[in-house]
Amino acid sequence: MSRIGNNPISIPDGITVTVADQTITVKGKLGELTQEFDAVSIEVVDGSVSVSRPSDSKDHRAKHGLYRSLVNNMIQGVSQGWTKELELVGVGYRASNQGQKLDLAIGFSHNIVLDIAPEVKVETVSEKGKNPIVKLTSFDKQLVGQVAAKIRGFRKPEPYKGKGIKFVGEQIRRKAGKSA
């Protein structure tokens, strides 16, 4: 039994949820998101969204909790938004942005210039004596995670000194170096 899927989702003020055919659309102050679904039924009843499944087959049970979580993330995204923060750890590692272009200096011969999707707001914070931080904000949780993973993939944290691009608060498993 899906415990997540059985919980109803309350709709905050200012958010409109519409279900048509096999598509759910959520509109809010930050934007609009749509998601296609199958194998479950989604109903909007007096200020809450409920997801139900037709049978207890393995596929239906799996998709029950999945689509409930996706709809919940959509509602939370258009009302509050999602934020990911990346920290650049390393000597000489820098980050700057001009509009939607992110410029990363992370130890390669040339800087990496990355065009960020227009739905994602990018901000860089550089304070003296602290590691540079890249803040990504959007109403789409999947898009923020994808952009953050792409940036992190340019220079993943290595286990000996911990240099690289990591999420703020991420714990890096450290290894001991060679003993002489």
- The pLDDT, as a whole number, for residue 4 is 83
Residues 6+ apart with CB under 8 A from 65: 2, 3, 4, 5
pLDDT, mean of residues 107-129: 94
59 and 95 in a single domain? The answer is no
12 and 69 in a single domain? The answer is yes
Q: Supply the CATH number for residue 123's domain.
A: 3.90.930.12
Position 137 pLDDT exceeds 60: yes
- The pLDDT, as a whole number, for residue 2 is 56
- The pLDDT, as a whole number, for residue 66 is 93
Reported as a pLDDT band with limits 50, 70 and 90, residue 5 is: confident
- The pLDDT, as a whole number, for residue 50 is 92
50 and 88 in a single domain? The answer is no
101 and 49 in a single domain? The answer is no
Q: What is the DSSP letter of 62?
A: H
pLDDT, mean of residues 76-91: 95
Instruction: Give 88's strand partners.
Output: 165
- The pLDDT, as a whole number, for residue 11 is 93
Judging by beta carbons within 10 Å of its beta carbon (0-12, 13-18, 19+), is residue 180 exposed, middle or buried?
exposed
pLDDT, mean of residues 144-164: 95
Total count of domains within the chain: 2
Helix (H) or strand (E) holding 106: none
How many Å separate Cα 115 from the centre of its chain? 17
pLDDT tens-digit map of 28-72: 999 999 999 998 999 999 889 999 999 999 999 899 999 999 999
| Residue of 95, 42, 87 whose CA lies nearest to 66 | 42
54: left (phi over 0), alpha (psi -120 to 50) or beta: alpha
Q: DSSP for 113-130, please give it.
A: EEEPPTTSEEEEE--TTS
Which tokens go with 126? 């550089």
Position 1 pLDDT exceeds 70: no
49, 40 in Cβ contact below 8 A? no
SS3 assignment, position 47: coil
Share of the chain above pLDDT 90, in %: 88
Position 86 pLDDT exceeds 60: yes
Among 79, 97, 112, identify where a domain stops: 79
Q: Which domain holds residue 57?
A: 3-79
Position 91 pLDDT exceeds 60: yes
Q: What is the DSSP letter of 11?
A: P
Q: Is the overall model pTM greater than 0.75, yes or no?
A: yes
